[in-house]
Amino acid sequence: MRLFPLFANLSQRRVLVIGGGAVAERKIKSLLVSDADITVGAPALTETLAELARQHRIQHLPGTFEENWLDGVWLVIAATDDRALNRQIAELAEQRRLLINVVDDPELSSFQVPSIVDRSPLTIAISSAGHAPVLARRVRERIESLFDHSIGALGALAARYRPAIRKARPDLRQRREFYDWMLDGPVADALKRQQPIEAEKWLEDGLASQTTAPQGKVLLVGAGPGDPGLLTLKALRALNEADVILYDRLVAPDILELARRDAVQIAVGKRPGENHDATQARIHALMLAHANQGHRVVRLKGGDAFIFGRGGEELQFLRAHGIAYEVVPGITAALACSAYAGVPLTHRDYAQSVTLVTAHCREGAMLEDWSALAREKQTLAFYMPVSQLEWLAEQLMTHGRSGETPFVIVENGTRPEQRVLQGRLKSLAQSAQANHIASPSLLLVGEVAGLAPDLEWFGASIKAGSLVPAD
Ligand code: SAH
């Protein structure tokens, strides 16, 4: 079951908490900040709750639960240690269409209270739907460390200046740019240094100065190999600020999920029957059209845009048309796949260099200097190798590389479905075929590949032709 998250305004609305022990006390403490009208029903209260009742911050209904306690109530929290009673309360609440949380009992609950990170007015809520509170708490700790408290002050400042900002920047795009400047620039910086007066001065100066109309721009962004955790912070920021995202087929859906909700997302992968040049021409035309409309375009590519990604050609095109651009590097498949397969690309004992090679090249071009590629003590990372495996192995062996040289193929590297095939060069094509290795896959050849059985740690691994799940 998936829960719908919401933030409720409980101010002056009656919330009934049943139970007067430590658990009820914890819930009531978190409710107090919401200014709710809190009633606690229980035969006896903890000392803290009794004190709150004496101060009239909560009301106490003494005794055991009665149905009429539910009259006039908006939300119910059952915090008794009597499951039968909790069930009875849950059923009555259900009949009255009251939302109820039975503490630590997701089955009986119709809502859950999330873990929160409080940076008022900013609140971050985390929920595991009541099933793994420990996990939610762990995530909360992480987030706590991610945002210092100045973000709360920044939110408060933004709230206070909201009408003035709206007036000075009536256009939505300009307003968004202003907020970006405010959140990323000197205003936020001053608040981090605990200089609120200076922050406000920066804000007022910023509002008074006239900015020019936004220029369209293209950000060439590497999305990494698939695992969204491998995006750079800069890439994430670019996705958050994009008006338009032109993305490749290789970009994982999880990554697009992170983009600004109202950004226009356009898939620009190769269409059936279309050749590569036509695809590229279409991408160029789209970048140009959107940038000319003043949009902030993110051109999102798998891995890194400058590694077998035609990123260079795209920049040359933008340059020729006078469009401003930035480049955000991404983690390329060779780096990511080697890391996730436990294959160090260099190693003092086994490899002093690494070469990234495409197994596909422009028609007619010869692939590299084979004798150089076939030398020992170096690692080769072949991109787009799947249809060329037999030929690659043959060329390497013909030019002197031993048939005993270890290889790994990393299929769907860094994604949940990652598979790593390990073997020796002489049986490369055969074992890939037997295991139905498909694209996207990266081939690593070299002595370092022999370390994979020892160092692997992620996903499934295939040895000697049979699929063995990694420990
Ligand atoms: N610019 C990309 C490469 C594009 S070429 C980068 O820097 O990674 C496409 C090839 O990259 C694929 O055929 C495959 O060889 C490799 N590749 C990309 N993502 C991959 C992944 N998740 N797992 C394995 N190989 C991948």
Q: Which residues of 275-305 are buried (b: 16+ CB within 10 A; e: fewer)?
A: eeeebbeebbebbbebbeeebbbbbbbbbbb
Domain 14-113 has CATH 3.40.50.720: yes
Q: Is the CB of 338 under 6 A from ligand 1?
A: no
pLDDT cut 70: percent of the chain above it: 95
Q: Is the CB of 307 under 6 A from ligand 1?
A: yes
Decide if 184 is catalytic.
Answer: no
pLDDT in tens, 147-174: 778 899 999 999 999 999 999 999 998 8
Q: Is the CB of 350 under 6 A from ligand 1?
A: no
pLDDT cut 90: percent of the chain above it: 73
Q: Which residue has the higher pLDDT, 237 or 242?
A: 242
Report whether 408 contacts 343 (CB < 8 A): yes
Mutation probe of ligand 1 site: the residue of 276, 299, 304, 308 with most atoms within 8 A of C-beta: 308
pLDDT in tens, 175-197: 998 998 888 777 887 887 788 99
Q: Is the CB of 329 under 6 A from ligand 1?
A: no
Mean pLDDT of 306-323: 95
Active-site entry in 270, 377, 426, 463: 270
Each domain of the chain, given as residue ranges in start order, spans: 14-113, 150-208, 217-331, 334-463
Same fold, 217-331 and 334-463: no
Decide if 104 is catalytic.
Answer: no
What is the CATH architecture assignment of 334-463?
2-Layer Sandwich (3.30)
H-helix or E-strand containing 41? strand 37-42
State the pLDDT at residue 363.
45
Domain at 217-331, CATH homologous superfamily: Tetrapyrrole methylase, N-terminal domain (3.40.1010.10)
Report which listed range, 187-201, 370-384, 454-468, is most confident.
370-384
- Burial of residue 442, with CB atoms counted within 10 A of its CB: 0-12 exposed, 13-18 middle, 19 or more buried: buried
Q: Is the CB of 383 under 6 A from ligand 1?
A: yes
Mutation probe of ligand 1 site: the residue of 248, 310, 338, 442 with most atoms within 8 A of C-beta: 442
Q: What is the pTM of this model?
A: 0.64
